[in-house]
Structures are given as C-alpha cells and as structure tokens.
Structure 1
Amino acid sequence: MAWQCSGATNHEMVTKLKEAGILATDRAEAAMIAIDRAHYYHEANPYLDQPRKIGYNVTISAPHMHAYALSVLSDQLFDGAKALDVGSGSGYLSACMAFMVGPRGRVIGIDHIPELIEISTKNVSEDCPHFIKEERVKFVVGDGRLGYAAEAPYNAIHVGAAADTLPQQNKARLIFQLIDQLTPGGRLVCPVVAIKGFQRFQDLVQVDKNVDGTVTKKKLMQVSYIPLTDPATQLANDY
C-alpha cells in the first residue's frame, strides 16, 4: 500500500496511512494529524504520497515514510524524551517528533545547509510557535553524520538520507558517531546502502541500543533516499 496514500486533505492522507497499516500507533497518528504537511511543503498538492523537492537538492520524504518512521520510533518518542532528526530539511518530521515528546521533551533538527535551517525554523515558528518558545525544537547547522554531541544522549534518532555504512564511530575516520549518541534503550532508524553483486539498493535499518549497551540491528524494508553526504556534493548533484 506504500505510495497509495495520497489525500486531498491532511486528514484524508492520515486516514489512508492508518487504513494501510503504515501508520501503526495512535501517538504517531495524533502527531501527523496535528502537524499539517501543507505548512512544510508550500507547493500544490502537499498531500501526495511521494517525496517532493524543497530546494538545495533535497526532498521532504513521502508521507508513508514519515508514518513508518514515527511508528517505529513511537516507544522512544515518549513524553519528556530527547530526539535527533538528521537531515531535518523542511522541519516537518522534527515537528511531529516534538508533538510526541511533549513540552518536557526536546528535538534537535540538524542539517548542513544553512538555508534549510532557516526554512525549517520559519515553518515551525509559523505552524507551532510554542515549540520554538518552549525550546521543544531546536534547529542547528552541522554535519549530521557526526550527530550532535552537545545535546546527546538521545532516546530516538532519525536519519533522513542514506548512509554508505551504518552511522557509528569509525575509528579510522571518526565520521559516524550516531549510535554512540543513543541512550541505553534508545532506537535509531537510518537508510543504509547495500550492495549485492552488481545491485546497489538501500535498506531501512532499525538499531536498538539495549540497556546493557549492546546493539542489535534489524532490516525493516528496502527504500530509496538521497545520499547522506557533505554540502558540496549535495549541492553539485541533482538527485
């Protein structure tokens, strides 16, 4: 049923996502009802179930992918939780996460394009100004591949672009550190590039840090995201 949940209104889109079994928790449903996608995608037909370009060679993900992510992370996006949204783009998913963590929680949206940080901040300020006033949401410019250590650890981390390898501390290059920034009991969801023979594809991977600090990984489905990369490469390519 993925890609078949377009609606004429936000409520119709959410209803179709729930009926398809993609929007799988009541709390995720409530967030997507409360945060209207049209406030984060300002062109025609904002409720189409497909990714839409928002400039700077990035997209706002298809609604069904947002529904999957919020459903998978629902237990970690509890009242008072802290979350990190890597590649926050339009600010839509960060706002949904902020709704779920409540006024005692905190969401950090990080993107390496300053103009996107301005856009996301403006979108949330106009849609849910109390999120900004309460500091429930904070958008920062930075390399999301490194996470955002200043606010770590996080109960939930969402990555909105495909990593060549699963983000974790690489001792040779010290590039990926996201798993290290998960709190015990935390969960990360990230698209990861996979290669089999001559085929190159992406898996949406769920990573859980157990209470004892051990890590378990689970492949959820195959997906298609833009690459998780540096600003110069992103701006030089039209994905």
Structure 2
Amino acid sequence: MGGAVSAGEDNDDLIDNLKEAQYIRTERVEQAFRAIDRGDYYLEGYRDNAYKDLAWKHGNIHLSAPCIYSEVMEALKLQPGLSFLNLGSGTGYLSTMVGLILGPFGINHGIELHSDVVEYAKEKLESFIKNSDSFDKFEFCEPAFVVGNCLQIASDSHQYDRIYCGAGVQKDHENYMKILLKVGGILVMPIEDQLTQIMRTGQNTWESKNILAVSFAPLVQPSKNDNGTPDSVGLHRIVAIFDTWGSHSPVESNKTLCGQCCPCWCSYTAGALCMGTLLSIRLCSSHGSNLLKTASHSSLSDTSFSPVCCQESPRLGSYLHSTYT
C-alpha cells in the first residue's frame, strides 16, 4: 500500500509532498513528521527507499507507507497528556512521533510480537534521543515497549484515550479492541481492508468512519502454552502510571528518590525512569546511589530537588513497588 504521493529526496521533501496531497493536514502532525527522519528507521543499505510513499519490510521489521502513517496520525486527533497504546508497535517510528505530541504528562505504550523488533525499536529510540537535533525542541513522552501478542492483553489492563492497531483486525476481534478504549477515546485500525476510525461515545456506543482503503497483514493468532491456554500480556509493569500519576502534581514529581530508603527502586537505571510521565523523577546521590538525570531535566540544579522516600510518600512508594518489583 502506498504510492499516493511523489517520492522525496529527503524527509522534508517527503513531508512537503504529503502536505500537498492533503495527507498531512494539521501543524501538530506536520511538526512530528518533520522532527523524525523516516530514513533513520531503515537498515543500512535500504535508506534510499525511505522517502518513497511505499511500505518497507525486511524480515520482521516493517514500516507502513508514509501516507498511511499520515492518515493514522490525523485520525487519532492527538493532544498533550493523553494515553496511547500502539498494538503492533514495530520499529517505534509511529510511537515516537506520537510521543512528541503527548508531551511529558502523556502515556505511550507499545506491544510488539517479535522480541528482535522490540530491541530494534529501543535502539532507534535511544539514537533519536541522543542524536536528533529535534529532540530538545519538544517535551517528549517516551514510548515503553513490551513483547507480546496484542490479542492476549491481560483482562485487568487499563483503558487508553487513543489506540492504533497496525495489523488487519478480523470482525470477531473488533469488540476486543473496543473495550481497551476509554469513553471519549479514538481507536484507529484496519478492518476488512478499510482503515477505520472508531470513537467511543458512551459505555456501549461507538461511531465508526472509514478513512482509507488499505491492505494489511492480519493479526497473528495467539499461541498456547503447555496448559492449552494462551499466555496473557501483562501491562501492569507500565500501566500503573494510570493509578498513581494523576495524584501527583508536577511539583511533587520533581523530587528525588532515595535508593536506600526505597529499596524497591534503588536497582533501577535511567532507562527504567524514562517512561513517559516519569521523566522528572530521579534517584538521589545520598547513600552512594547515582544521581540520574534525563535529557529534558539536565539543566535543573541539584538544589531544586528535595529527597522523598516511600515512607514520606506511601502512594508513590506503593506505585514503585508494584511497578518495578
């Protein structure tokens, strides 16, 4: 699927073509597309194809055509602070663009079937954060990826404001996808060769609109374990943000965690910290723990933070324990 617009010589040229063809229609989406070079998500030797409006696949690695991603981004109607779930998150290209719009108080989760693709996505994400000139221009909601089948999400998982599924959904799985969505939320997924936008208007009501004719590979059916039942994907390690973060103001989040006072936290690294809204939480330097700073907060002085431990903030301590142990 693709070929709707002319090939570009570079990323900006491609975005110009997508705008001219009305696939990109809003400034917010345009800024996200320009900030992330599509070519950076291609393997060496294949980059020449990055700026064509064509899908690309190599082994388990897959990128949809730019016109598809454009329509998806526009249909999601993203806003800062929303929660997003990417079902079949792949290279992380789309999730990273979404993160630029969600900002530091959003939630950005992805489920990907193939572990090698998750590792690829993490490498590309790290490269973007470290090397991109665009990164410092945005408040970023860093995506967190887990390996699993998106048809095996644990029944106690929370709902999301925005969901995208990057594989063909059969009719008998449509309701399964819908219940992952909050009331007022938007789900975009391919059903019966149509990219479809579904809005949840009430507890049991939805509105659907076909966006674009597409051709997607179908969702992979879950495999079964030794007991004859599918293993569920546990999002509890990252989804606990829903329960906790809403109760913490930005001022409270700008505190330092003591590794000795909070043993459930002390062994985790900056990589564990960099999950969406937790960008502003750091480990303190007391008791031999390393002070960890994220890129977006590296300019803040050490004296602007005061230590806090699980005993002083039981809600936060409980969250850390349930999420990271």
- TM-score range with shorter-chain normalisation? 0.7 to 0.9
Q: Does 1:220 align with 2:219?
A: no
Q: Could you tell me how far 1:178 is from its partner in structure 2? A: 2.1
Which of 162, 165, 181 is residue 168 of structure 2 equivalent to?
A: 162
Q: Do the aligned partners of residues 8 and 231 (structure 1) sit closer, same or farther apart at CA in structure 2, a change above 3 Å counting?
A: farther
Q: Distance in 2 between matches of 1:51 and 1:24?
A: 21
For 2:218, what is the secondary structure of its paired residue?
Answer: coil
Q: Does 1:48 align with 2:52?
A: yes
Q: Do the aligned partners of residues 103 and 17 (structure 1) sit closer, same or farther apart at CA in structure 2, a change above 3 Å counting?
A: same
In the TM superposition, 1:1-239 aligns within 5 A as 3-42=4-43, 43-45=46-48, 46-56=50-60, 59-74=62-77, 77-128=78-129, 136-147=142-153, 152-165=158-171, 167-169=173-175, 177-193=176-192, 202-211=193-202, 213-230=204-221
Q: Could you tell me how far 1:152 is from its partner in structure 2? A: 2.5
Q: Distance in 1 between matches of 2:82 and 2:207?
A: 21
For 1:6, what is the secondary structure of its paired residue?
Answer: coil
Asked if the contact 2:169/2:219 (under 8 Å) is kept, the reply is yes
- What TM-score, normalized to structure 1? 0.81
Deviations 1:130-170 (A, max 9, x none): 89xx772100011113457666321110111111226444x
For 1:12, what is the secondary structure of its paired residue?
Answer: helix
Aligned residue type for 1:141: V
Asked if the contact 2:88/2:167 (under 8 Å) is kept, the reply is yes
Gaps of 5+ in 1: 170-176, 194-201, 233-239
- What TM-score, normalized to structure 2? 0.60
Asked if the contact 1:112/1:231 (under 8 Å) is kept, the reply is no
Deviations 1:170-210 (A, max 9, x none): xxxxxxx22111111100011112xxxxxxxx111111101
Q: Could you tell me how far 1:229 is from its partner in structure 2? A: 1.3
Aligned residue type for 2:37: D
Q: Could you tell me how far 1:112 is from its partner in structure 2? A: 1.0
Asked if the contact 1:90/1:120 (under 8 Å) is kept, the reply is yes
Q: Do the aligned partners of residues 214 and 34 (structure 1) sit closer, same or farther apart at CA in structure 2, a change above 3 Å counting?
A: same
For 2:47, what is the secondary structure of its paired residue?
Answer: coil
Q: Do the aligned partners of residues 103 and 38 (structure 1) sit closer, same or farther apart at CA in structure 2, a change above 3 Å counting?
A: same
For 1:217, what is the secondary structure of its paired residue?
Answer: strand
Asked if the contact 2:3/2:52 (under 8 Å) is kept, the reply is no
Q: Could you tell me how far 1:26 is from its partner in structure 2? A: 1.2
Q: Could you tell me how far 1:217 is from its partner in structure 2? A: 1.5
Q: Could you tell me how far 1:39 is from its partner in structure 2? A: 1.6
Aligned residue type for 2:210: K
Moved over 3 A (4+): 146-151, 166-169
Q: Which has the higher helix share?
A: 2
For 2:109, what is the secondary structure of its paired residue?
Answer: strand
Asked if the contact 2:89/2:111 (under 8 Å) is kept, the reply is yes
Aligned residues: 212
Aligned residues with identical type, % of pairs: 30
Q: Could you tell me how far 1:212 is from its partner in structure 2? A: 5.1
Aligned residue type for 1:210: T
Q: Which has the higher strand share?
A: 1
Deviations 1:22-68 (A, max 9, x none): 11111111110111111212323211110001322x52000010001
Aligned residue type for 1:182: L
* Larger RCO (CA under 8 A, 6+ residues apart): 1
Asked if the contact 1:166/1:192 (under 8 Å) is kept, the reply is no
Instruction: Provide the residue aligned with 1:236 in structure 2.
Output: none
Q: Do the aligned partners of residues 222 and 11 (structure 1) sit closer, same or farther apart at CA in structure 2, a change above 3 Å counting?
A: same
Gaps of 5+ in 2: 224-325
Q: Distance in 2 between matches of 1:26 and 1:147?
A: 34
Asked if the contact 2:53/2:67 (under 8 Å) is kept, the reply is yes
Asked if the contact 1:161/1:225 (under 8 Å) is kept, the reply is yes
